[in-house]
Amino acid sequence: MRKITYLAVLEPDNGGYGVFFPDLPGCASYGKNLEEAQANAKEALELHVYGLEKDLEKLPEPSKNLDSELYSGNYVAPVTVFPDMVKNEMDNRRVKTNVTIPAWLKDLAEEAGVNYSKLLESSLIDYLSLNK
């Protein structure tokens, strides 16, 4: 299983901690305390890596260490993620979508106890000739 580790900088900020990844511009988070900041850093990194890979962008090479003078007064912590697990979770999460059908058909379907989500999912799988 693929594992990636990037260094996060946790900056004390008004009682909380701002978080950013020097190797990944735009990947930032915040936490009210150190524990929350670390958890949010992991989530931010997971989503950022997922987005980059979904957009077919190359991931930057993770730094092995950071300039201690540049980040003095801050915490530097490694954050490890498993991109394939995140991709699987994100790609298989349930999402809502709206559909429009005639009122009479909706009434009949509800009387019959139709599970719209299950029916739409199986119908789309059949329609797209997917073998899941």
- Supply the range of the domain harboring residue 13: 4-91
Of 47, 121, 29, 42, which Cα lies nearest the Cα of 87? 47
Q: Give per-residue pLDDT as tens, 44-100.
A: 999 999 999 999 999 999 998 888 888 888 999 999 999 999 999 999 999 999 999
My answer on whether 67 and 54 are in the same domain is yes
Q: What pTM did the predictor assign?
A: 0.80
- Give the integer Cα–Cα distance in Å for 62 and 7: 7
- CATH number, domain at 49? 3.30.160.250
Q: How many residues does the chain have?
A: 132
Q: What is the pLDDT of residue 35?
A: 95
Does 15 share its domain with 58? yes
- pLDDT score at 67: 86
